Amino acid sequence: MKARKSIINYLIIIFIIVILINILAYRFFFRLDFTQDNQYTLSRATKSMLSKLDDPITVTAYFSDDLPPAIGQTKSEFKDILVEYASRSKGNVLYEFVNPNKDQASETEAMKAGVSSVMINVREKDQTVQKKAFLGAVLKYEGKSDVIPFIRPGESMEYTLSAAIKKLITNDKPSVGFIQGNGEPTLSSFPQASNELKVLYNVESVNLTDSTNLSKYKTLCLIAPTDSISDKKLKLLDKYLSNEGHLYLAVNRVNGDLSKAMGMEVKTGLERWLAQIGVKIDPVFVVDSRCANVSVRQQQGAFTFDTQIPFPYLPIISSFAKHPVTQGLESVVLQFASPISFTGDTSKVKFLPLAFTSEKSGEENAPLYFNVQKKWGESDFTRPKRAVAALLDGKICGDKKSKMVVISDGDFAVNGEGQQAHQLQPDNLNLMVNAIDWLSDDTGLIELRTKSITSRPIKQMEDGTKLLLKYLNFLLPIILIIMYGIFRIQRNQMIRLKRMSENYV
């Protein structure tokens, strides 16, 4: 009887403990994050922003039910992050989930709010069928609203959500100006970058003239000029930087024309201005054994076909400094880059190289002829780890501090226009937008853009190492099983001998 009472008492105590744990878990959000990039830990920028919310923000999440596991996990992760936002904001983030697929009215409501639908493949009754799915959200704050049309699985949800909240609570967005008038690509040539930047900034075209109020721009962007830049315009840049301005500069010191198979030096006068502030971009082509391919048309008999050939003049950059501009980047493809160095006063200006070529890289002087059939060897790659992007922070011009990011390729983040337009690979876009964010934003949201890893390319290794890993991967499990079997046999034999001994009890 006493034993029965003790069991009942234990069950009551366990029941009470479970209830208390649930109450505490509801009121205090807590989890351990062991991911490499702290993917499930809110940043200081987000925590600071949420703690300053005075009025509630409502989030209506439009997510379909019964999604495939790989996509359905996005809904679970979005709900988890909303729970944490609600906890950190002391209840000022309110949320609800709506299934747009439940009826026509809900679907119409989601689409009218700006949430996009996507077609996904779903397995039903042993066959694959297409299903319309929604993964988006609408945020409302003080009569204003913003929409997240589609939350891509694997992207940085914290950046997406925090940027949307910041957009709503910020009354005056900083301005970012894209300099025009010197042969630069127009603003319409940067649709991907422009769309990313417009979340937090007013993005405008600007000309370097005496009548232009350059001080209104948090950051000026000068990208791939092809015409000569007058001394008068360069003095305006001096004046802008001397007033604590920020400059993003992506410049072609050399350029290649694949239709003519020629590579030439580019002179705009900008190189002289950069040399005066201590930045030297050599008029040479960086070549790298880790590179992108070009398509070469070949003919064999009556047949014509295209062949992909490695082209060392298009280096794939995968070595980066540890800095918010390059955080989370995996690989950036550059077009005809050049090495960057600093010859200025390091006591006044901090110079930090941001991106480097590989261990097997070199340089070739311009002008030159591109020989796509060339057999590249070790002797062509004798200048390793050359900087192709860098930042300057300090008294660049005058006595006031300013900032500058310099990249020795002006075309790596240009989409182009018309039939020449193309989609950028994610890290090319991230490098440009991260750099402008670092120059323009003081809240720290830049750390969130590349918080989720986009890709993990297989590292290059020697053939012998590949062969060793191949056989090790195949044989190691078999060897371990055989060793365990031998151990079991010997152990059983010892037990059998022990039992057969006269003194065994």
> For residue range 199-222, what is the model confidence (pLDDT) as tens digits?
889 999 999 999 999 999 999 999
Q: Quick check: is 156 in a domain?
A: yes
- Determine the pLDDT at residue 436: 96
Using CA atoms, how far apart are residues 312 and 442, in angstroms rounded to an integer?
38
Q: Using an 8 Å Cβ cutoff, are 217 and 197 in contact? A: no
Quickly state the pLDDT bin for 454 (edges 50, 70, 90): very low
- Determine the pLDDT at residue 230: 96
Using CA atoms, how far apart are residues 203 and 434, in angstroms rounded to an integer?
15
Q: Using an 8 Å Cβ cutoff, are 166 and 445 in contact? A: yes
Assess whether 107 and 224 both reside in one domain.
Answer: no
| Residue 266 backbone dihedrals phi, psi, to 5 degrees | -115, 130
Average pLDDT in the 215-235 region? 96
Q: Quick check: is 320 in a domain?
A: yes
More confident of the two residues 457 and 439: 439
Assess whether 372 and 438 both reside in one domain.
Answer: yes
More confident of the two residues 364 and 15: 364
Assess whether 164 and 186 both reside in one domain.
Answer: no
Kindly tell me if the per-residue pLDDT of 33 is higher than 70: no
Task: Provide CB contacts within 8 A for 132, sequence distance 6+.
Answer: 64, 101, 117, 118, 119
Helix (H) or strand (E) holding 389: strand 387-394
| Average pLDDT value over all residues in the chain | 87
Beta strands in 212-302 (DSSP E): 217-223, 246-250, 254-257, 262-265, 279-281, 284-288, 291-300
Using CA atoms, how far apart are residues 78 and 80, in angstroms rounded to an integer?
5
Listed as own residue / partner, the contacts of 239-243 with beta carbons closer than 8 Å and 24 or more positions apart are 239/214, 239/397, 240/214, 240/215, 241/396, 241/397, 241/398, 241/402, 241/404, 242/397, 242/398, 242/399, 242/400, 242/402, 243/215, 243/398, 243/400
Q: Quick check: is 19 in a domain?
A: no
Using CA atoms, how far apart are residues 390 and 335, in angstroms rounded to an integer?
17
Assess whether 66 and 120 both reside in one domain.
Answer: yes
Cα end-to-end span (Å), the chain: 39
Assess whether 51 and 178 both reside in one domain.
Answer: no
Using CA atoms, how far apart are residues 122 and 477, in angstroms rounded to an integer?
35
Kindly tell me if the per-residue pLDDT of 288 is higher than 90: yes
Of 338, 460, 480, nearest to 410 (Cα)?
A: 338
Percent of the chain at pLDDT exceeding 90:
53
Out of 424, 449, 474, a domain closes at: 449
Distances (CA, A) of 438 to 33, 83, 266, 338, 390: 26, 29, 28, 23, 13
Out of 137, 168, 199, a domain closes at: 168
Assess whether 425 and 469 both reside in one domain.
Answer: no
Using CA atoms, how far apart are residues 279 and 292, in angstroms rounded to an integer?
28
Q: Quick check: is 56 in a domain?
A: yes
Q: Quick check: is 17 in a domain?
A: no
Kindly tell me if the per-residue pLDDT of 285 is higher than 90: yes
- Determine the pLDDT at residue 453: 45
Tokens of 228: 């000569």
Assess whether 246 and 325 both reside in one domain.
Answer: yes
| Residue 28 backbone dihedrals phi, psi, to 5 degrees | -125, 110
Best mean pLDDT range from 28-37, 391-400, 420-429, 480-489: 391-400
Assess whether 229 and 273 both reside in one domain.
Answer: yes
Q: What confidence tens digit (pLDDT) does each residue in 461-503 have? A: 566 777 777 777 878 888 888 888 888 888 888 888 777 765 5
More confident of the two residues 97 and 156: 97
Structural domain boundaries, residue 353: 174-449
Using CA atoms, how far apart are residues 301 and 70, in angstroms rounded to an integer?
48
Out of 115, 150, 168, a domain closes at: 168
Would strands 361-365 and 332-333 be described as parallel, antiparallel, or unpaired?
unpaired
- Determine the pLDDT at residue 498: 76
Using CA atoms, how far apart are residues 146 and 99, in angstroms rounded to an integer?
19
Quickly state the pLDDT bin for 259 (edges 50, 70, 90): confident
Quickly state the pLDDT bin for 409 (edges 50, 70, 90): very high
> Cis (ω within 30 of 0) for the bond into 367?
yes
Assess whether 211 and 345 both reside in one domain.
Answer: yes
Assess whether 428 and 498 both reside in one domain.
Answer: no
| Residue 413 backbone dihedrals phi, psi, to 5 degrees | -120, 25
More confident of the two residues 138 and 71: 138
Assess whether 325 and 471 both reside in one domain.
Answer: no
Q: Quick check: is 8 in a domain?
A: no
Q: Quick check: is 18 in a domain?
A: no
Q: Quick check: is 489 in a domain?
A: yes
- Determine the pLDDT at residue 301: 65
In the block, residue with structure tokens 């950190």: 88
Strand partners, 404: 247, 392
Kindly tell me if the per-residue pLDDT of 265 is higher than 80: yes
Would strands 93-98 and 117-124 be described as parallel, antiparallel, or unpaired?
unpaired
Of 325, 281, 331, 315, nearest to 434 (Cα)?
A: 325
The CATH number assigned to the domain holding 261 equals: 3.40.50.880
Q: Is 498 helix (H, G, I), strand (E, B) or coil?
A: helix
Helices (H), 173-318: 191-197, 231-242, 270-276
Using CA atoms, how far apart are residues 3 and 235, in angstroms rounded to an integer?
91
The CATH number assigned to the domain holding 62 equals: 3.40.30.10
What's the domain count of the chain?
A: 3
Q: What confidence tens digit (pLDDT) does each residue in 348-368 have? A: 999 999 999 999 999 999 999
More confident of the two residues 315 and 6: 315
Percent of the chain at pLDDT exceeding 70:
88
294-303, 322-331, 364-373, 451-460 — which is least confidently predicted? Answer: 451-460
Assess whether 86 and 233 both reside in one domain.
Answer: no
